[in-house]
Amino acid sequence: MALTTITSDTGPIELNVEESGQGRPVVLIHGWPLSGQSWSAQVEALAPHYRVVTYDRRGFGESAKPAGGYDYDTLAGDLHGLLEALDLRDVTLVGFSMGGGEVARYMSRFGADRIHSVVFAGAVPPYMAKTDDNPDGPLDEKTATQMREGLEADREAFFDDFATTFFSTPKLGGLTSTLKVSEEQRQDAIAMVLQSDQNAALTCMDAFGTTDFRGDLGAVIVPALVVHGDSDTIVPFEGSGKRTHEAIEGSRVQIIEGTPHGLAVSHAEEFNRILLDFLAV
C-alpha cells in the first residue's frame, strides 16, 4: 500500500491506498475498527478480473490520523476524493459494516455519476440506534454506552473481546465456542484494530451507532446487493440488512447461513462467489 494525498471536505489528507488488477474498478471500504488489510481474501479473488482498490479510512491502519473528520459527511468526502484522485469511473462500491454507511452517504451527497453498482455487506444502514422513531434499530443506548466505556477503560482487552464476538455466532446448547475462524486469523484482526487511533475509534463508534441513513438510501439508484450473515450478533440482519434491502427498490439480498459479522473472512469463499456473481451483471 502507498500513501495517496486526496482532497476531502476538510482539505488534503493522506490515505493508505492499495491497487491490484485491471479492469472495471471495485472499491472495498472496510469496517470498524479494521483497515484495508481486512479485504485480503477479496483482493485475491477479485484482482484477476477487476481493478481492486482498498484503502485505510482516516484514523485507521496507516492512513493519516487527524484530530477530526470522523463524521459520515467527511468520510464520504474522503471516498469521493479518492475516486477523483484515481479518476475511477463505472465503480462498484463495496461497504462492509461501518463502510456501508459511507456508501449510503456517498450516494446521497455525490450521486451516481461515477458509480456502476453498490454492495452493503453486514452493513450498518439504515439506522443502528434504537430510538422512539426507530424502534427496530438494533443498537440500544445501554449497549452503546457499554461499548464506549469498555474501549475507554481498557483498549487491548476490549479489542480482544471484540475480535472474538466479530467472528463468532450465538452459542447453542452444549457448545463452549462458536468462533468461525482460526486463532491466527483472530490475532491478525487484533493486530489490525490496534493500529487505529483511539480518538478515531471512539468517534467513529459514535458515528456508526447514531447516524441515520434512512434518507440516504433513496439515492441508491444503481444495482444494489445486500449480503449478510444470518448469525451476525454485531449488526443483526433483521435490524439492518433486511431494512436496507426493503428501502432500495430492486435490490438483491443474499443471506449466508451460520455466518458471524466477519463473514468476509470466516466465509470468504462463499462471500467472494456472491460478489463475483453480482459484479458480472
In order, the DSSP letters of 18-55 are: EEES-SSEEEEE--TT--GGGGHHHHHHHTTTSEEEEE
At 223-256, the pLDDT tens digits run: 999 999 999 999 999 999 999 999 999 999 999 9
At 183-221, the pLDDT tens digits run: 999 999 999 999 999 999 999 999 999 999 999 999 999
pLDDT of residue 175: 58
182 has a pLDDT exceeding 70: yes
CATH topology of domain 2-279: Rossmann fold (3.40.50)
pLDDT of residue 173: 58
Max distance between CA atoms of the chain, in angstroms, equals 54
Q: How far apart are CA 117 and CA 106, in angstroms?
A: 12
Distant-in-sequence, close-in-space partners of 68: CB < 8 Å, separation ≥ 6: 10, 74, 203
At 162-176, the pLDDT tens digits run: 999 999 999 775 555
Task: Give me the active site residues, please.
Answer: 97, 232, 261
Whole-structure pTM value = 0.97
Give the confidence band of 14 by pLDDT, cuts at 50, 70, 90: very high
Whether 201 and 114 have beta carbons less than 8 Å apart is answered as no
Q: What is the mean pLDDT of the chain?
A: 96
